[in-house]
Amino acid sequence: MDWNLIRSFLAVAEQGTLAGAADHLGVSQPTLGRHIDALESALGLTLFTRGRHGMSLTEAGLSIVEDAKAMAAEADRLTLKAAGRALTVSGTVRITASEVVSAYVLPPILAALSVAEPDIQIELVPSNTVENLLSRDADIAVRMVRPVQNDVIARKTNDFGMGTYAHEDYLARHGTPATVEEFFEHRLVGMDRSGLIIDGMANLGIRAQRDFFAVRTDHQIAYFELVKAGSGIGFVAHFLAAGHPGLRRILPDVAIPALPIWLASHRELRTSQRIRRVMDFLYERIGALPLNDA
């Protein structure tokens, strides 16, 4: 059976609409519709009911979902093994990293890589979500937490030193806090739905709530720009603050744990020369950066 039919079936089942599945797979809705029709014809089953709000699995469709997922897992495993046997240092390597790392850390490193290895093409995916290395959403992931999957290999390369910072214009208007108590009397820049900052403060024995923060965003680059623009006091990496003379460090004696930087890839890809070359290049260049210096 044509694997594309199974892939389209799973996408529609998971997304619930032809439009969502088409965006997910990068194909047109008419193509997906034809795939579903062809699969239903080949199996002699009605797999979906079409409604105003999308596509719902029938009982027959539900009965084959797990088998289709097993086929998808085998297809992913086959792709990984084939990629792992690539011997030439050429081709495409897909890297996912957080928004801040993608925007402020990786560009000069990837520019140097393009000079050293001109036959390697890079796809950079800025994302704060954990991309799935097992299904090849990415070949290499740069993460701030150590991966725990059994089939993923990881190497720690550096640490992001963190501190509390504010722009000098904000401090000129509101003064500089000298104690933690005064710190909480200021306008703080926090996160919206993410618990990253609140959880980090809790680990330091500081209880905080969402409404402690006068300005909130989960977008890392927007967060940094808000602090840089003088919206309030925020938690910023030393590496970023060092490039902006207007930022001043607040309460340097308050120790904020550094964020570890891990490089991760699927175990099957360790025999791919191009992926190993990119992994080693990132490891060396990121490791050499003064990311933990205040």
How confident is the model over 20-47, as pLDDT tens digits?
888 888 889 899 889 999 998 988 889 9
Position 135 scores a pLDDT of 60
Domain shared by 132 and 263, yes or no: yes
**Domain end marker among 47, 77, 107:** 77
Higher per-residue pLDDT: 121 or 133:
121
- How far apart are the C-alpha atoms of 181 and 175, rounded to whole Å? 14
pLDDT digits (tens, 9 = 90+) for 227-283: 999 999 999 999 999 989 899 999 998 888 889 999 988 876 666 788 889 999 999
Burial 68-80 (b: 16+ CB within 10 A, else e): beebbeeebeeeb
Q: Say whether pLDDT at 69 is over 80.
A: yes
pLDDT digits (tens, 9 = 90+) for 144-181: 888 777 678 889 999 999 999 999 999 999 999 999 88
Phi, psi (deg, nearest 5) at residue 143:
-125, 155
Q: Into how many domains does the chain fold?
A: 3
Instruction: For residue 8, give every residue at least 6 positions away whose Cβ sits within 8 Å of its Cβ, in sequence order, or none.
Output: 21, 25, 27, 31, 32, 35, 36, 39
Domain shared by 43 and 176, yes or no: no
Position 127 scores a pLDDT of 84
Q: Identify whether the C-beta of residue 170 lies closer than 8 Å to the C-beta of residue 188.
A: no
Position 217 scores a pLDDT of 94
Domain shared by 154 and 266, yes or no: yes
Domain shared by 181 and 233, yes or no: yes
The helix or strand, by DSSP H or E, that contains position 40, with its residue range, turns out to be helix 29-43
Domain that holds residue 16: 3-77
Residue 292 in any domain: the answer is no
Instruction: For residue 208, give every residue at least 6 positions away whose Cβ sits within 8 Å of its Cβ, in sequence order, or none.
Output: 190, 197, 198, 201, 202
pLDDT tier at 132, thresholds 50, 70, 90: low
Domain shared by 169 and 106, yes or no: no
Q: Can you tell me the mean pLDDT for 195-203?
A: 81
Position 133 scores a pLDDT of 62
Mean pLDDT of the chain: 87
Instruction: For residue 34, give every residue at least 6 positions away whose Cβ sits within 8 Å of its Cβ, in sequence order, or none.
Output: none
Q: Say whether pLDDT at 198 is over 90.
A: no
Q: Identify whether the C-beta of residue 109 lies closer than 8 Å to the C-beta of residue 139.
A: no
pLDDT tier at 134, thresholds 50, 70, 90: low
- How far apart are the C-alpha atoms of 2 and 31, rounded to whole Å? 14
Domain shared by 193 and 58, yes or no: no
pTM: 0.67
Residue 293 in any domain: the answer is no
Domain shared by 263 and 153, yes or no: yes
pLDDT digits (tens, 9 = 90+) for 43-60: 888 999 888 778 899 998
